[in-house]
Amino acid sequence: MLKKRLGWLQNLFSRLSGKQQQASVGDVTIISRDQHQVSRKLLSPNALKVLRRLEDHGHQAYLVGGCIRDILVGGRPKDFDVATSAKPEEVRSLFRNSRLIGRRFKLVHVQFGREVIEVATFRAHHSQDSHGDGNHSHHSDDGQILRDNVYGTIQDDASRRDFTINALYYRLSDFAVKDYAGGLQDIDNRLIRLIGNPEQRYREDPVRMLRAVRFAAKLGFTVEKSTAKPIYQLGHLLQNIPSARLFDEVLKLFLNGHAEASFQLLQDFGLLEQLLPATAAAINEQDGFYARFIHAALVNSDKRVRQGKSLTPAFLYAVFLWYSTLAYTRQIEEQDVPKLPALNRGAMTAIENQNQRTSIPKRFAIPMREIWELQYRLTRRFGKKADQTLNHPRFRAAYDFLLLREQAGEDLGGLGQWWTDYQVADEFVRRQMVKALQSGKYKKSRKPRRHHRRKPSENEQ
C-alpha cells in the first residue's frame, strides 16, 4: 500500500513538473489483492493452470495485457496472455498440449479444447543501431523491428509493451497486480499512452498506431497528446507492414463491437486512407450518401455484436468496397460490356486494389462478389428468379446489404420492403407478389406504345 502511494506521488510529481507525457518503466507499483478488482472468478481456469504449472517449475509467470486491462476497466477479457521467465522451449516441454509458433515473435500456444493460452517469454529491448545479430533480433533501416527474440527480465518486458495500460501484470503467488509504467493511473484518467518515445515506438512497429485507435475506440479512452501527435505524420509507415497482418488488424478494428468509433478515429488520424484508400476516397462522394451507407453498416455491425450475432469479414469488406466496385463497373459498362460481366470485372479490380494494402483471403473475396452480384439479382424477380435468389446461400447477407443501401437514402422503389414481405409470405401470396410485378411491367411496357397509336384505317375514318 505504501509503495502504491509512493508510485502515485511520483506520478503526481512528474505530472506537476511537466514530464508526465512520456511514460517510462521505472519503479514498480504493487497493488495487493484487496486493492484491485482482478478476482480469480473472472480469470480462465486454463490460464490459471498455466500460471500454476510454470510457477511450480520455478519460473515467474504472470497474466498480462488485455485480460488484466479489461478487468480493471470493468469489462470481460476475451483471451488470456501469459508472460514468463521460462524460454519458449521450456514452456513447450511443460505442456503436452502446446506448440511453438511465430518467427518475428516466438510464442507458445497452449491449447485447451477451443481455448488457446498464449505464453510469451519476457522480452528485452535490443540495440537499434546494431541491426541485431540476425538470429534473435533485427531492425530495418527505418527502425522497424523485424525480429524480436531477445529475452530479459519482467522490467525489460514491461518496457517493450506498447501502452501503459497493457503493461499490468498479475501473478498467482500473492494475487498482486504489478504496474511498471503508470498504467493504473492512465486507466483512471482514461488515457491511451505509449511507453517510451512515441515516435520511436511507432517506427519500431507502425501497427501500434492502429492499436492506439483500437483501444481508444474499444475502451472509450482518449489517445494522450504526445501519443496522438506523431500518428498524423507517420501513417504512411503502415505501407511497410505485410498486407496479411493489416488484414488481421482491420478485422480486430471492425468486428469487435466498436466499428463505428474505430472508423471515426481512423479518419481523424488520417489512417483510413492508408488502410482502405478506396473507402477513404468514397466517403466524400455523392453528397455523403456513401458515408451514410458505411455509417449505417458499422452501427448495425456493432449492434449485432451486442446481440451476440455473427459478423463476417466478407460483409464488412463488401460495404467498404461497394462504391469502388460500382465506379469500376460503370467504366467497364461504358465499353458496352453487359451489366453482370461488368460488375464481376469491376469487383475484381476493386478487390485487387485493396489487396495491395490489406490482403483479402479468397474465402472472403468470393462471398463479397456474391453479395454484390445479388444486389443486381434482387431487382430481377420474375418467374422463378425471386425463388432462386431467395435460395442463394448469400441471400441473407445480400438482403441486409440492400436494406442498408435504402437506410442510407438510396431510392430502390421499395425493393427492400418487397423482399421483407416475400420472405414471410406463403406460396400463394408469393405468386401474387410476382404476378403483381409482372402486371406492373406489362403496364409500363405498354405505355410507350400509346405514343405510336396506329393511324385509323381508311375504313374506320
Rounded CA separation 106/108 (Å) = 7
Q: Which amino acid is at 355?
A: N
| Contact indicator for 311, 300 with CB cutoff of 8 Å | no
**Quick one: what does residue 375 bind among ligand ATP, Mg ion, none, with the CB cut-off 5 to 8 Å set by partner type?**
none
Stretch that binds Mg ion, among 27-35, 37-45, 73-81, 308-316 (CB under 5 A): 73-81
The CA radius of gyration of the chain, in Å to the nearest whole number, is 28
**Interface segment toward Mg ion; rule CB under 5 A; list 80-88, 144-152, 172-180, 445-453:** 80-88
Site residues (CB under 5 A) for Mg ion, limited to 217-246: none
What is each CA distance from 179 to 36, 41, 60, 439, in whole angstroms? 12, 21, 16, 73
Report helix, strand or coil for 64: strand
Contact between 235 and ligand ATP by CB under 6 A: the answer reads no
Q: Does 205 bind ligand ATP (CB under 6 A)?
A: yes
Identify which of residues 200 and 417 has a Cβ nearer to ligand ATP in the complex. 200
Distances from the Cα of 337 to the Cα of 76, 256, 346, angstroms? 53, 40, 11
Q: What residues between 61 and 120 interact with ligand ATP by CB under 6 A?
A: 65-66, 78-79, 81
Q: Which stretch binds Mg ion (CB under 5 A): 54-62, 78-86, 175-183, 372-380?
A: 78-86
- The three cell numbers locating residue 255: 468486428
Contact positions with ligand ATP (CB under 6 A) in 337-376: none
Number of neighbours of residue 197 by Cβ within 10 angstroms:
14
Site string for ligand ATP, 119-158 (x = CB under 6 A): ----------------------------------------
Q: Are 76 and 42 in contact (CB under 8 A)?
A: yes
Is 178 one of the binding residues for ligand ATP (CB under 6 A)?
no
Tell me the closest approach of the beta carbon of residue 167 to ligand ATP, in angstroms: 6
Distance CA 450, CA 427 (A): 35
Residue nearest to ligand ATP (CB): 66
User: Residue 237 CB, nearest distance to ligand ATP (Å)?
Assistant: 13
Residue 156, classified by CB atoms within 10 Å of its CB into exposed (0-12), middle (13-18) or buried (19+), is middle
92 binds, among Mg ion, ligand ATP, none (CB under 5 to 8 A by kind): none
Residue nearest to Mg ion (CB): 66
Among positions 161-200, residues that touch Mg ion (CB under 5 A) are: none
Q: Is there binding between residue 166 and ligand ATP (CB under 6 A)? A: yes
Report the alpha-carbon distance of residue 241 to residue 247 in Å, rounded. Answer: 10
N- to C-terminal Cα distance for the chain?
Answer: 111
Among 47, 181, 207, 343, which residue sits at the site for ligand ATP (rule: CB under 6 A)?
207
Report the distance separating Cα 392 and Cα 380, nearest Å. 14
Residue among 187, 221, 175, 172 nearest 69 (CA): 187
The one catalytic residue in 70, 157, 162, 302 is 162
Closest CA to 104 of 153, 62, 137: 137
**In the bound complex, what is the minimum distance in angstroms from residue 122's beta carbon to Mg ion?**
17
Q: Which is nearer to ligand ATP, 101 or 429 (CB)?
A: 101
Nearest to 118 by CA among 179, 47, 170, 178: 47
Count of residues of this chain found to bind ligand ATP when the rule CB under 6 A is applied: 11
Cell matching residue 373: 452480384
Q: With CB cut-offs between 5 and 8 Å by kind, which of ligand ATP, Mg ion, none does residue 166 bind?
A: ligand ATP
66 binds Mg ion (CB under 5 A): yes
* 79 is a catalytic site residue: yes
Q: Which does 157 bind (CB under 5 to 8 A by kind): ligand ATP, Mg ion, none?
A: none
**From 79, 156, 268, 387, the catalytic residue:** 79
The Cα 265–Cα 272 span in angstroms is: 9
Contact 315, 397 (CB under 8 A): yes
Interface region with ligand ATP, contact rule CB under 6 A, candidates 205-213, 239-247, 298-306, 331-339: 205-213
Catalytic residues: 79, 81, 162
Q: List contacts with ligand ATP (CB under 6 A).
A: 65-66, 78-79, 81, 161-162, 166, 205, 207-208
Q: List contacts with Mg ion (CB under 5 A).
A: 66, 79, 81
